[in-house]
Amino acid sequence: MHCGELLKLKRDVEAAAVPIGAKVTLRAGQIVCLAQALGGCHTVSVNGTLFRIEGKDADALGLEAGAKAAPCGLAPATPEQVEKRVWEALRACYDPEIPVNIVDLGLIYDCVVTPLPGNTDYKVDIKMTLTAPGCGMGPVIQQDVQNKLLALAKVREVNVELVWEPPWHRSMISEAGRLQLGLL
């Protein structure tokens, strides 16, 4: 599988139109061009319009479904270990238009891991922003973050809050992200 590869849809599949986020159904037999395959999701182009297809629907593209996030080794026991896994999971979340993860894009403003009372599980609170306040993909990216974090061992609650202060600026992109985007 390579970006730019033409694929014929094997079945009808729900997709999100980029950048507005509206749900649409792409029909079986339709030819799509793979634009990006990152973080378990796929961005395809149909007649110049981009669509995001969830990893669970990769079979519609004739590809193997993305593996669910699974903990490596023993389940984390401390808030610090959970937070490390949270940051790893966040690095697997991508804006469907930009081939840089949301951490390196500078979209994550805060991450707080709190033990839940009475058990060994944790709650994770994330404050994140988007590259533009009007981005229709915001709810899609927000849900992707929540899903990936809830798939982690010991994480039982996740709150992902979109915030607009401070406003995002491209100077917030990490050095690794700038290198990927050819901005260095």
CATH code for position 135: 3.30.300.130
Last residue of a domain, one of 61, 89, 104: 61
Predicted local confidence at residue 112, as pLDDT = 97
Same domain assignment for residues 41 and 89: no
CATH of the domain at 11: 2.30.30
Structural domain of 14: 6-61
Instruction: Evaluate whether residue 70 is within a structural domain.
Output: no
Same domain assignment for residues 55 and 12: yes
Same domain assignment for residues 13 and 97: no
Instruction: Evaluate whether residue 66 is within a structural domain.
Output: no
Question: pLDDT tens track of the chain, all 184 residues?
Answer: 566 789 999 999 999 998 888 899 999 999 999 988 888 889 999 998 999 998 899 999 998 875 444 443 446 578 899 999 999 999 999 988 889 999 999 999 999 999 999 888 999 999 999 999 888 889 999 999 999 999 898 999 999 999 999 999 999 999 999 999 998 7
Contact predicate 64/71, CB 8 Å: no
Half-sphere exposure of 14 (CA within 13 A, CB side): 6
Predicted local confidence at residue 2, as pLDDT = 63
Predicted local confidence at residue 72, as pLDDT = 39
Instruction: Evaluate whether residue 67 is within a structural domain.
Output: no
Predicted local confidence at residue 76, as pLDDT = 59
Same domain assignment for residues 163 and 117: yes
The CA-atom distances, in angstroms, between 163 and each of 106, 126, 128, 137, 160 are 13, 10, 6, 15, 10
Same domain assignment for residues 56 and 91: no
Q: What does the alpha-carbon distance between residue 42 and residue 166 come to, in Å, rounded to a whole number? A: 30
Predicted local confidence at residue 70, as pLDDT = 40
Amino acid in the structure at residue 17: A
Predicted local confidence at residue 75, as pLDDT = 60
Structurally, how many domains does the chain consist of?
2
